[in-house]
Amino acid sequence: MDPWYALSEIRKHGTDRTWWRKRFLTLVVSRYFSGLGRPDADPVIETEWDHLIILDACRFDLFKAVYDDNQLPGTLNRRKSVQSGTPGFLAENFGDGTFHDIVYVTGNPYVDTNLPDGTFHAVESVWEDGWDDERQTVLPETMAKRTLDVAERYPDKRIISHFIQPHAPFVGDVRLGQRETFAIREHAMGNEGSVQRHRTPFEMLESGEASHEQVWEAYRSNLEFAWPAVNRLLAELPGLTAVTSDHGNAMGERAWPFPVRVYGHPLGVLIPALTDVPWLTNTNGPRKEITPEPPQSVDTEIDERTTERLQTLGYAE
């Protein structure tokens, strides 16, 4: 790192405790977890499934709380994700290989921007053409409908359906935070600098602007918002369907063995709040017969609007 740049950053942010916490998490904690402190994990690509439903940023205890009140068909277990953020989850599961037996249906633009072309047989970019402008997200029912359509068009492929919920923006019955723009999508569309990045609910919790109870209630409501769509997929998809998450969200848990508290889902911080995720499996009839085939041509264009759509989710500055 350029020492003059580091000095200028310290002069600019030196009294900001949040800035120091984030630097410590990036420079110390994440390096510890990438080395000696790395826990065992369960890569999704090494598990059995015909269809995989990913609920973005859904920690296990949140899923279990909603499941206890409104059970889904199937058997619920806990698994350990490989990473604490979507970019790392995608890179560590899919970044070093080709998976031409998979069609990836995604509301999250990182699938398009962070993985090489040809990684999957096909990518269905719902974030691009299935966007809800009013709520600045891809609605769960849109994801369910597109997933069922893709499963019908590709009966001999494994299908991944990557929902945005319960990741912010929180647009369920209990809402929290601003939703004018969706950062990840805008970044992916190339609209850099054209929108303001608003504070996430977890940043509001960190600053004391929102309470733990307020954030948890809105976080849970966002998962409940997706619940009927997940239930529909479990009922209608044939074969073995699994429901999981790429990572969780921290709400002030400590990054043991360090005393620093963690909020949101900083990459590389592999604590249970961020890596303990659900693994629910349900079988409808016989397993699918899967046939790998060369990837279809990619026609998703990463233009100026994509950057803004990434910024709204809170990943891109």
Q: Please tell me the predicted confidence (pLDDT) of residue 94.
A: 97
Return the closest-CA partner of residue 273 out of 253, 245, 258. Answer: 253
Higher pLDDT pick, 299 / 227: 227
Indicate whether 34 pLDDT > 60: yes
Structural tokens at position 22: 């984030």
Structural tokens at position 157: 């492929």
Residue boundaries of the structural domains of the chain: 39-313
Structural tokens at position 283: 């079988």
Q: 129 exposed, middle or buried (CB, 10 Å; 0-12, 13-18, 19+)?
A: exposed
Q: How confident is the model at residue 26 (pLDDT cuts 50, 70, 90)?
A: confident
Q: Please tell me the predicted confidence (pLDDT) of residue 303.
A: 54
Q: Which helix (H) or strand (E) holds 223?
A: helix 212-236
Distance (Å, rounded) from C-alpha 286 to C-alpha 244? 21
Q: Please name the fold of domain 39-313.
A: Alkaline Phosphatase, subunit A (3.40.720)
Calculate Rg over the CA atoms of the chain.
Answer: 19
pLDDT digits (tens, 9 = 90+) for 280-317: 999 999 999 999 999 976 555 555 556 565 655 655 53
Indicate whether 188 pLDDT > 90: no
Higher pLDDT pick, 208 / 12: 208
Kindly give, in sequence order, each residue whose CB lies less than 8 Å from that of residue 111, ignoring residues fewer than 6 positions away: 90, 104, 123, 125, 162
pLDDT digits (tens, 9 = 90+) for 124-182: 999 999 999 989 899 999 999 999 999 999 999 999 999 999 999 999 999 887 654 55
